A and B are shown apart, each in its own frame.
Chain A
């Protein structure tokens, strides 16, 4: 069964610094996708970035990049130049492609950006 693990309960970072949010996953499928979502205090879920298991390059979307290490089954989110608006909950998720098509989330972690 697929599983997502986010072990950092919370992190603090200074504005303009880079921060890495950890995510490890477990699956027996070869084809899968990894997602990161942001949930600000207002509650909506905001899609940030996607990495496919067969993608050769690490995904990047503006200030977000994904450090994908397939052999270690990790998909860490890197936020460069943190902004106050980055303070939120962050969730890692995985979808098995062509199999169950479930999309399963980790427990999330809270990022606080200090001025």
Chain B
């Protein structure tokens, strides 16, 4: 089982460039989340989605955009990369309406903006 797949694993961007972090899951999960983790810190929620066509802002949405056209895919877009966006990005998904289901995490994308 693939679970949650994130690509790329590593990326270096120059200031002002744009890119899309890909996330796909094969578990038919409705709920998907994007987090960033700065060095030595916890995970901060960027955006999340409770189903195809529905997205909402998390704690730190500025500088990012998302879309959810299918259940499987939840890409994260950085339009004008800034050094403050240097971080590790995690995508996660969960399937159940009740709270008990844990998040399934991807392996992360390490992004450096210079």
Which residues of A are in contact with B by a Cβ distance under 8 Å? Answer: 6, 31-33, 35, 43-45, 47, 50, 52, 91, 93, 95, 97-98, 100-108
In the complex, are the beta carbons of B42 and A108 less than 8 A apart?
A: yes
In the complex, are the beta carbons of A47 and B99 less than 8 A apart?
A: no
Shortest CB–CB separation between residue B95 and chain A, in angstroms?
12
CB within 8 A of B88: which of A32, A33, A43? Answer: A43
In the complex, are the beta carbons of A105 and B99 less than 8 A apart?
A: no
Given contacts A50-B100, A91-B42, A108-B41, is CB(A45)–CB(B50) below 8 Å?
no
Size class of the contact patch on chain B? 20 to 34
Query: Is B75's beta carbon under 8 Å from chain A?
Result: no
In the complex, are the beta carbons of A44 and B42 less than 8 A apart?
A: no
In the complex, are the beta carbons of B100 and A33 less than 8 A apart?
A: yes
Which residue on A lies nearest to B94, using beta carbons? A103
